[in-house]
Amino acid sequence: KMLRVLHTRQGQKAEVALERVQQAAIQNKIIFSDLMEACKVCSLGQITKALFEVGGQYRRNM
């Protein structure tokens, strides 16, 4: 229920915040400040999905 409320209230703001995070990642910029702003209006799942869309699955270098 809380996620539905978050998505309903922050819909447009969340889209903008996620786009900023994605663009920063694509441009190989430091994404920390954009992530902190996105955390205010997005769920962890939304942020994870947005980063996965532009970067794929994380693989640790060995």
pLDDT of residue 12: 85
Four-point Cα dihedral 24, 42, 16, 32, nearest 10: -20
Q: What is the pTM of this model?
A: 0.79
Task: List the chain domain ranges.
Answer: 2-55
3 state SS for 1-50: CHHHHHHHHCHHHHHHHHHHHHHHHHCCCCCHHHHHHHHHHCCHHHHHHH
| Segments of the chain scoring below 50 in pLDDT | none
pLDDT of residue 54: 94
